Amino acid sequence: MSKRYPVIQACVAASISLVLSQVALAAVTAEEAKQLGTTLTEFGAEKAGNADGTIPAYAGGITTLPPGYKKGDDRYVDPFKGEKPLYSIDAKSMAKYAGQLTEGAKAMLQAYPTYRLDVYPTHRTVAYPAWVRENSVKNATTTKLTGEIMGDSVEGADNGKAFPGVPFPIPKTGYEVMWNHKFAYGAAVDHQASSAWLVDTAGSVTALPTVNEFFVRPWYDRSGKLRKETFDAVFGFSATLTGPPASAGIHFLNYYLTDSADGGQKVWFYTPGQRRVRAAPEFSYDIPIASYGGVLFWDEIFGFVGRMDRFDFKLVGKKEMIVPYNVFGVTNTMQSKDVLDKKHLTNESVRWEKHRVWVVESTRKANARHAYSRRTFYIDEDSWSIVATESYDSGGKLWRVGNILTFPTYDVGGVYNSTWNFNDVIKGNYFVVNMGAADPGNFVRSYTSAEGLPIKTTPQAVAAGSAR
Does residue 46 fall inside a structural domain?
A: no
pTM of the model as a whole: 0.94
Amino acid in the structure at residue 309: D
Give the rounded percent of residues in the chain with a pLDDT score beyond 90: 91
Say if residue 1's pLDDT is above 70. Answer: no
The mean pLDDT value for 343-350 works out to 98
Question: What is the domain-level CATH number for residue 335?
Answer: 2.50.20.10
Does residue 201 fall inside a structural domain?
A: yes
174 burial (CB, 10 Å; 0-12 / 13-18 / 19+) is: buried
Does residue 374 fall inside a structural domain?
A: yes
Say if residue 256's pLDDT is above 70. Answer: yes
SS3 219: helix
Q: Which residues pair with 210 in a beta bridge?
A: 243
Say if residue 58's pLDDT is above 70. Answer: yes
SS3 94: helix
pLDDT value at residue 12: 40
What is the pLDDT confidence band of residue 466, given thresholds at 50, 70 and 90?
A: low
What are φ and ψ of residue 104, in 5° steps?
Answer: -65, -45
Of 1-10, 70-79, 92-101, 349-358, give the lowest mean pLDDT range. Answer: 1-10
Does residue 92 fall inside a structural domain?
A: yes
How many domains does the chain divide into?
1
pLDDT value at residue 246: 87
Does residue 422 fall inside a structural domain?
A: yes
Distance (Å, whole) CA 334 – CA 11:
60
Q: Which residue range is the domain that position 188 belongs to?
A: 87-127+171-465
Of 121-130, 218-227, 285-294, 384-393, give the lowest mean pLDDT range. Answer: 285-294
The terminus-to-terminus CA distance of the chain in angstroms comes to 72
Distance (Å, whole) CA 373 – CA 388:
17
Distance (Å, whole) CA 115 – CA 91:
8
136 contacts 184 by C-beta, under 8 angstroms: no
Nearest alpha-carbon partner for 409 in 224, 149, 220:
220
Say if residue 391's pLDDT is above 90. Answer: yes
pLDDT value at residue 17: 39
Say if residue 267's pLDDT is above 70. Answer: yes
Say if residue 265's pLDDT is above 80. Answer: yes
Distance (Å, whole) CA 107 – CA 209:
29
Distance (Å, whole) CA 380 – CA 370:
26
CA 428 vs. chain centroid, Å, equals 24
The 10s digit of each residue's pLDDT in 141-157 is 999 999 989 999 999 99
Three-state secondary structure string covering 52-82: CCCCCCCCCCCCCCCCCCCCCCCCCCCCCCC
Strands (E), 231-297: 235-243, 251-256, 265-271, 276-279
pLDDT value at residue 67: 97
Does residue 102 fall inside a structural domain?
A: yes
Say if residue 57's pLDDT is above 50. Answer: yes
Say if residue 468's pLDDT is above 60. Answer: no
